[in-house]
């Protein structure tokens, strides 16, 4: 039995493994306008979109890093750290949504509101499954102690990654649309991540 043992490559640090997600965000930055086109923005909006992409991507990477830490015994975030990270995510989501509406106010005709909301909700959710799946693969190499928390963090990170690029296409910044279509997709991804990772962890046990 001893002869069959082989050395196992140590896991890289959570931050190094999470470094893949800025690349994913850059890929979506190209894919979204290429597939769906550009939103109806005026020229000065470029710096707003760029700033939003940077802030949302950095926050998403922090969430993914925290999720990956959940798969390493002894590296788990303490409750105060988790609450601080959750508060940061809420502030970034609320702040970016408010800033977009304040700087680029744009609504949608009531007759089209339902359709536009449905498009953003379903497309953003589907795109978010890609980074969520990547994070699940990274988590599978470790021992996830709190799969519900790890999955929720990964899902929320996936939602932020998508939002950073989806704004290139969707220029509707009205609060009702943002909450239902954009933040709604983030919430669904967080729930999907939490439930999926919990189910996978239960089957592994």
- 62 is in which domain, residue-wise? 14-204
Rounded (5°) CA angle 118-119-124: 105
Instruction: Please give the residue that has the higher pLDDT: either 97 or 9.
Output: 97
In a domain, 185, yes or no: yes
pLDDT single digits (tens) 61-88:
999 999 999 888 777 889 999 999 999 9
In a domain, 87, yes or no: yes
pLDDT single digits (tens) 120-141:
999 999 999 999 999 999 988 7
pLDDT single digits (tens) 137-176:
998 876 677 899 999 999 999 999 999 999 999 999 999 9
Q: What is the mean pLDDT of the chain?
A: 90
In a domain, 6, yes or no: no
What is the model's pLDDT at position 10? 58
> What is the number of residues in the chain?
205
What is the model's pLDDT at position 2? 46
What is the model's pLDDT at position 84? 96
| Residue pair 181/117 in contact by the 8 Å Cβ criterion | yes
In a domain, 5, yes or no: no
DSSP states of the chain: -GGG----PPPPPHHHHTTHHHHHHHHHHHHHHHHH------GGGHHHHHHHHHHHHHHHHHHHHHHHHTTSTT-PPPHHHHHHHHHHHHHHHHHHHHHHHHHS-----HHHHHHHHHHHHHHHHHHHHHHHHHHHHHHHTS--S-HHHHHHHHHHHHHHHHHHHHTTT-----HHHIIIIIIHHHHHHHHHHHHHHHHHHHHH-
Total domains present in the chain:
1
In a domain, 56, yes or no: yes
In a domain, 4, yes or no: no
As a whole number, mean pLDDT of residues 8-34 equals 87
pTM, two decimal places: 0.90
d(CA 150, CA 153): 5
What is the model's pLDDT at position 100? 94
| Residue pair 165/123 in contact by the 8 Å Cβ criterion | no
d(CA 33, CA 115): 19
In a domain, 142, yes or no: yes
In a domain, 1, yes or no: no
d(CA 164, CA 25): 8
């Amino acid at each position: 039995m001893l002869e069959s043992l082989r050395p196992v490559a140590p896991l890289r640090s959570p931050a190094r493994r999470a470094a893949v997600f800025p690349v994913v965000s850059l890929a979506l930055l190209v894919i979204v306008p290429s597939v769906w086109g550009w939103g109806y923005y005026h020229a000065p909006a470029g710096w707003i979109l760029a700033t939003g992409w940077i802030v949302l991507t950095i926050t998403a990477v922090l969430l993914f890093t925290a999720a990956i830490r959940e798969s390493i015994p002894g590296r788990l975030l303490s409750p105060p750290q988790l609450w601080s990270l959750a508060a940061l995510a809420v502030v970034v989501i609320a702040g970016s949504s408010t800033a977009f509406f304040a700087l680029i106010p744009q609504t949608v005709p009531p007759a089209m509101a339902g359709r536009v909301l449905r498009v953003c909700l379903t497309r953003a959710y589907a795109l978010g499954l890609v980074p969520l799946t990547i994070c699940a693969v990274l988590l599978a190499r470790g021992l996830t102690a709190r799969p519900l928390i790890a999955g929720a963090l990964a899902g929320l990170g996936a939602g932020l990654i998508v939002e950073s690029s989806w704004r290139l296409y969707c220029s509707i910044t009205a609060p009702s649309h943002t909450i239902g279509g954009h933040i709604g997709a983030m919430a669904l991804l967080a729930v999907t991540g939490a439930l999926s990772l919990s189910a996978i962890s239960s089957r592994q046990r």
